Amino acid sequence: MAPFYAMTVSEFVAALGLQGQDVFDLEWRLSEGQGALIAARTGLLPEAVQAMTFRELGPQARMMIARKNRLPCPHCPEDLHRKAAALPWRFRCPVHGMEFHDATGETLSARFGSDHFKKLEEYAGAGATHLDAWVRGAGQGDLGVPEVLQVLTARHRRASPPNVDEQPRMSLKDRRDYHDFLTTPIIRQALTVVVPEYDQVAPVLTKPVRPGLHALTQGSLLQCFSLTAGIGRIVEDPVARAIDVLLASDMNGQERVREALRSWPLSLRRSISARFWRAERDEKAHQTAEKTARQRQSHKYRLIQSHKYRYRIS
């Protein structure tokens, strides 16, 4: 409201008779007296003033609210901070419908590709609905947001250097020059299993996200979008997604994932245990069958002997 009256924020707060008050505290929750005072000075209804605050959100959301614009909309003024865009699971301008741009000016649809982005946006919408219900204390079903994020940010495999498909094409000289980069261990988290699209497009050194709720609070646009889509996928089918993570985990990683799953409801954990045992058995049988097929193929006689080829070619 301060730019509307051609004032700085501190000048506007002082003109309202609230000098010395922290602006973020006022935005978070106004007392009845403060709301009435602002309403009297601005001519707005007290209900309209209270609607500008975050009073309907629970205290667990306070750490996630941005004090400034997280991401710019190309059509919005830079000094305009919209309440609807203050939370990290908003990826479009609520007024213009435009995608937010990250720090480099790139959009998510450009990063993922339009087809992948459309599919992920559906899951991100479901995840955002779940997050909205959580911060407002509404019904969330069997799973809360902290429990889901605990699994998404769990380390399902030991840290390892970039894989071949994660490395850029480099000459031998460049590989020697960037030896430290190619041998840097990268934390491997369950997010890359639940949202493999993120694993394919995220820069390898910035692929890990912070644990728990801090992943959303301090994550980049790409990370927050992928986490929100991951929440949507887990909420849709928590048992199947948990089994996917367990099958992709190493021995120590399975222990860490199971530790994260202990906060899930008992009924879900029982379903996961029963179905994971069968999925693991089927996976072992499939691997055994493939190994047997390879062994049989290696024992087949060649129809054309090597001496029939040209010199030095076998």
Q: Where are the beta strands (DSSP E) in the chain?
A: 155-160, 186-189
Q: Give pLDDT tens digits for 94-144.
A: 888 888 888 888 899 999 998 999 999 999 999 999 999 998 887 666 788
Q: Which residue has the tokens 């860490």?
A: 256
Segment 182-186 long-range contacts (CB within 8 Å, at least 24 positions apart): 185/159, 185/160, 185/161, 186/159, 186/160, 186/161, 186/162
Q: Give pLDDT tens digits for 106-115.
A: 899 999 998 9
**Residue 243 pLDDT greater than 80, yes or no:** yes
Q: What would the mean pLDDT of 2-12 be, rounded to a whole number?
A: 84
Q: Give pLDDT tens digits for 19-62.
A: 888 888 888 888 888 888 888 888 889 888 888 888 888 888 88
Q: Which residue has the tokens 């090597």?
A: 306
Which residues on neighbouring strands pair with residue 30, listed in sequence order? none
**Residue 305 pLDDT greater than 60, yes or no:** no
* Burial class for 69, CB neighbours closer than 10 Å (0-12, 13-18, 19+): middle
pLDDT at 196: 95
Residue type, 56: E
Q: CA torsion angle for 156, 130, 262, 247 (degrees, to 10)?
A: -30
pTM of the model: 0.81
Q: Give the DSSP letter string of 82-107.
A: -GGGSSTT--B-TTT-PBPP-TTS--
